Amino acid sequence: MRGSAVLVTDSQQVSAWRVVRDVVETGSPAERAAVLAEQSRLIRRSVLAMIGRAQAGHIGGDFSVTDVLATLYFGVLRIDPARPDAPVRDRFILSKGHCAASLYSTLAFSGYFDPAALDTFMGPHSPLNGHPNRVKVPGVETNTGPLGHGLPVAVGEALGARLLGHDSRVFVVCGDGEMQEGSNWEALMSAAHYRLANLTLVIDRNRLQQGDRTEETNALDPLADKLAAFGWEVREVDGHDHTALLAAFAPAAGTRPVAVIANTIKGRGVSFIEDRVEWHHKVPSPDQIALALKELA
C-alpha cells in the first residue's frame, strides 16, 4: 500500500537529520539539549507557516507536543528515514492526529520527504491532510484523527514486535483530553496484562482540551496514580525539557509498560498563544504570525 505514497525520502534531508542525531548520540549534555531545542524551534516556525498558509490547524497542541516529537525523532527512535518500511524499526504513533502539522514538520526535517511539500498542508489533493494518512505519507504508521485510537494500535504493534522476535520499541503520544476516551483505558489494561515493556505512552499533559481545562471538563487527576493502578511504570517530566525527556524515554526498568506524563503548556513558545483555550485551533492573523516568528527567532 505504501507504494502509492506520493511523498518519498529526501536523501539530502536524511543526511542533515543524521548530523543532528550524531550530536545527540555523541555530544555533551549541553550540546544535546541545544540541538534538540534548535530542532524544536524550527518545527514551531514551520507549523506557524503551515497554519498561516492553510488558514487552518491546531496550533496550541502542535506547540505543546513539539519538544516531545523533536526528542523522539532526533534522539530516541531507532529509525532510518531512508527506509521507512524496514521490517524491524521503532514505531511512533501520534494518536492526537489533529496535531499533524507538527508531525509533518518533524517527519520532513527527518528526511521522510522533502520539506517543500509542507507548503501544501491541507491544500487540494495534498497528501498532507489535516490528519495523517499512512498510505500517503511515509513515516506515518497508522491513520489517526478520531481520538482514542492510537494506543490500542500501539498495543498491537508492541505485541506484534514481541511475537516476531523484534526488539522494536513502540511510542504513542496521546493528548491529555484524549485520555477521557474509554478505548484508551481498555488498551491500558491490555498493555499491562501483556507486560508490554516495549511500549511507551506519552501523555501531552497541557491541561487544556478544545472547550475548557481538562479538570473543569472531566477531571483526569490523579492521572499518575490511575496509570500506576493500571499496572504501568509512570514517569512524570517537564515536557519541554529535552534532557528530561531523553531520560524519560529510556527503556522500561522492569516488565511493565511505561507511561510518560509530559507536563506541557499548550501553545508553548509564543507568549500570546500559551495556555489559552481559544488557541486550540484558532488561526493567527498575519500580524500575529509576524510577532510569533519574532518570539521564535
Partner 1 sequence: MTLAEAATAATYDNRAAFADELIERARADERVVAVCNDSVGSSNLVAFRQEFPDRLINVGIAEQNMVGVGAGLAAAGLIPFVCAAGPFLTGRALEQVKADVVYSAHNVILCGMSPGMAYGELGPTHHSVEDLSWLRALPGLDIVVPADRHQTRQAVRQAAADPRPTYIRVGRYKVPDVTAPGDRLERGRFQLAREGADVTLIGAGTLVSRTLAAADLLAADGIEARVLNAAYIAPLDVEAIRAAAQTGAIVTAEEANISGGLGAAVALTVAAQGGGPVVRTLGLSDFAPTGSTDMLLEYFGLTAPAIAAAAREALAV
Site residues, partner 1 (CB under 8 A): 1, 87, 91, 133-135, 141-146, 148-149, 151-161, 163-164, 166, 168, 182-183, 186-187, 189-190, 193
Please say which residue, 8 or 189, places its beta carbon nearer to partner 1: 189
Q: How many CB atoms lie within 10 A of CB 22?
A: 11
Q: How far apart are CA 211 and CA 206, in angstroms?
A: 13
CB 76 within 8 A of CB 249: yes
As measured in angstroms, the least distance from the Cβ of 135 to partner 1 is: 5
Please say which residue, 152 or 284, places its beta carbon nearer to partner 1: 152
Please say which residue, 11 or 255, places its beta carbon nearer to partner 1: 255
Q: Which H or E run contains 51?
A: helix 29-54
Please say which residue, 53 or 134, places its beta carbon nearer to partner 1: 134
As measured in angstroms, the least distance from the Cβ of 192 to partner 1 is: 12
Please say which residue, 141 or 204, places its beta carbon nearer to partner 1: 141
* C-alpha triplet 133, 173, 249: angle, nearest 5°: 130
As measured in angstroms, the least distance from the Cβ of 190 to partner 1 is: 5
Q: How far apart are CA 239 and CA 244, in angstroms?
A: 8
* C-alpha triplet 119, 74, 148: angle, nearest 5°: 75
- Phi (first) and psi of residue 170, to 5 degrees: -120, 130
Q: Which H or E run contains 170?
A: strand 170-175
Please say which residue, 185 or 293, places its beta carbon nearer to partner 1: 185
Please say which residue, 23 or 158, places its beta carbon nearer to partner 1: 158
As measured in angstroms, the least distance from the Cβ of 185 to partner 1 is: 9
Rounded-to-10 torsion of CA 81, 69, 130, 191: 90
Cell of 229: 493502578
As measured in angstroms, the least distance from the Cβ of 180 to partner 1 is: 14
Q: What's the one-letter identity of residue 229?
A: A
As measured in angstroms, the least distance from the Cβ of 49 to partner 1 is: 28
CB 203 within 8 A of CB 176: yes
As measured in angstroms, the least distance from the Cβ of 150 to partner 1 is: 8
Q: Which H or E run contains 161?
A: helix 150-163
